[in-house]
Amino acid sequence: MSEDLKVRVTNLFREKSRGDKKMFYIRDVTKWLPNEDRHAVQNVVKELLEEEVLKYWSSGSSTYIMLAEFFPKE
């Protein structure tokens, strides 16, 4: 089941990152899939982070998640 959800989450990230906005709060991600269990979506996001498909970004106060390919180079 989580494989399917993983694919859907990854595609949603691609779709939502088409505009200027590349960084999303985890709450945005869970809201993209309102009738999925919140914890399931969060766990899938964690797996994608482990696999470095997604990456965390934080200035220290709050934390965003984004597709790895959009991670700002220094």
Judged by CB under 8 A, the residue of 7, 14, 56, 69 near another protein is 56
Rule CB under 8 A: say whether 38 interacts with another protein. Answer: yes
Judged by CB under 8 A, the residue of 11, 37, 42, 70 near another protein is 42
Rule CB under 8 A: say whether 6 interacts with another protein. Answer: no
Residue 9 near residue 33 (C-beta atoms within 8 A): yes
What sign results for the dihedral spanned by CA atoms 56, 58, 61, 63? negative
Rule CB under 8 A: say whether 28 interacts with another protein. Answer: yes
Rule CB under 8 A: say whether 34 interacts with another protein. Answer: no
Residues 43/17/12/36 CA torsion (nearest 10 deg)? 50
